[in-house]
Amino acid sequence: MTTTTAADELMATCWSSAGDAASDRPDLRSPLSLRERVEAASAAGFRGFGLLSDDLPAAVAAYGLKGIRDLLADNGITHLELEGIPWWWDDGAHEAESSRVRSALLGAAEALGARHLKVTPDGDAAPWDRGLWAARFAELAAQADGVGARLGIEFFPWSNIASLHDGLRLVTEAGHPAGGVIIDTWHVARAGTPAGDLAAVPLERIVGVELDDADEQVVGTLFEDTVHRRRYCGEGDFDLTGMVTALRSAGWTGPWGVEILSDEHRALPVGEALRRAATSARSVLGAASSPTT
């Protein structure tokens, strides 16, 4: 057994601090100000913060990029994740919108000293060209590297990149050292990937880790279940301690993202929600084994 250490820093991913906002709504923006979210995350002990691209314009308008950087620094936030470039793989009808968001996110990453950018797969699982995706991922990874950040892709069990192994295959085919995977424990468990498999992931390919939990039974579609019924860490049926132990064996020392999406979580005041998210995550980290024990 271990206890949490200084290395076990927590990151509040974008949805964890967004309040009454959800990824299945037409408008993805948080109703809370960036200051409310950052101060609540800091008060709960988080040292990392995630911001969705949809929330970036309002934050820049309110504070400016320098103001955002000062706000993060004043609250002890040392790890920043910027998330969401729609259709980043598209070279057709969506390319103009994708390029606009990409440019804004890369500019913010450079100005704010972001740790990494996070992108997601095609949730419709439409037919796709693997070679094109690998080329576009490599291009974006090079652009992230150019502003001092890394690029991570999060796999979804209902998407074209459905599992950890699918994500690693894409990253390997892309071949850029700044590219890697975001490992969300919800998606690991729902894809049926054994916890022990995480120990074999090359450390240089792990860009981020996200902790969360869920009941054994899926309610509705996988997408509906992940948006509305996640549990706080240790309050569901996932083998979270096994996953954390395996990731530590792979060499991961954090920051540990905490990503709670649920009707219960978003109904709470943001301070209370983040305190509960942090406390439950630290309990799991403290219960998991370390390769040194």
Burial class (CB in 10 A: 0-12, 13-18, 19+), 174: buried
Cα atoms in the 13 Å half-sphere on the side-chain side of 128: 21
In contact, 114 and 82? CB cutoff 8 Å: yes
Residues 6+ apart with CB under 8 A from 141: 150, 151, 174, 176, 178, 179
Could you tell me how far CA 112 lies from the centroid of its own chain?
Answer: 17
Please say whether the beta carbons of 16 and 274 come within 8 A.
Answer: yes
* Per-residue 3-state assignment (H helix, E strand, C coil) for the chain: CCCCCCCCCEEECHHHHCCCCCCCCCCCCCCCCHHHHHHHHHHCCCCEEEEEHHHHHHHHHHHHHHHHHHHHHHCCCCEEEEECCCCCCCCCCCHHHHHHHHHHHHHHHHHHCCCEEEECCCCCCCCCCHHHHHHHHHHHHHHHHHCCCEEEEECCCCCCCCCHHHHHHHHHHHCCCCEEEEEEHHHHHHCCCCHHHHHHCCHHHEEEEEECECCCCCCCCHHHHHHHECECCCCCCCCHHHHHHHHHHHCCCCCEEECCCEHHHHCCCHHHHHHHHHHHHHHHHHHCCCCCC
pLDDT of 2 reads 36
Q: What's CA 122's distance to the chain center, in Å?
A: 16
Please, which residues bridge with residue 118 across strands?
A: 83, 152
pLDDT of residue 293: 47
The CATH classification of domain 10-287, taken from the options 3.20.20.150, 3.40.1180.10, 1.10.1740.10, 3.10.20.30? 3.20.20.150
Give pLDDT, residue 1. 33
Note whether 184 and 153 are within 8 A (CB): no
Q: Tens-of-pLDDT digits for all 293 residues of the chain?
A: 333 444 699 999 999 999 999 999 999 999 999 999 999 999 999 999 999 999 999 999 999 999 999 999 999 999 999 999 999 999 888 999 999 999 999 999 999 999 999 999 999 988 899 999 999 999 999 999 999 999 999 999 999 999 999 999 999 999 999 999 999 999 999 999 999 999 999 999 999 999 999 999 999 999 999 999 999 999 999 999 999 999 999 999 999 999 999 999 999 999 999 999 999 999 999 999 877 54
Which amino acid is residue 207, in one-letter code?
V
Q: Domains of the chain: which residue ranges?
A: 10-287
| Cα torsion angle, 88, 263, 246, 150, sign | positive
**What's the CA gap between 121 and 210, in Å, rounded?**
16
d(Cα 133, Cα 121) in Å, to the nearest integer? Answer: 10
